[in-house]
């Protein structure tokens, strides 16, 4: 799991800095939910360029 997160982070950094072309701004969504069963945290990280969108939910 750590390797996957590291690879995703490295991919986001390379895409965001513009090494492969025009820089792409990553998106980040986070949330906290409270219910009768407890508190739940979640979020997602993603990139989109034109019609292509890639996202990872945490």
Could you give the percent of the chain with pLDDT greater than 70?
A: 81
Q: Name the residue ranges covered by the structural domains of the chain.
A: 2-57
Indicate the average pLDDT of the chain: 79
Q: Name the pTM for this structure.
A: 0.48
pLDDT band of 39, cuts 50, 70, 90: very high
H or E element at residue 40: strand 38-49
């Amino acid at each position: 799991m750590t390797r996957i997160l590291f690879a995703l982070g490295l991919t986001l950094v390379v895409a965001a800095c513009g090494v492969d072309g025009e820089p792409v701004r990553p998106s980040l969504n986070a949330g906290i939910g409270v219910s009768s069963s407890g508190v739940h945290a979640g979020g997602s990280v993603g990139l989109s360029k034109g019609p292509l969108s890639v996202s990872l939910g945490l």
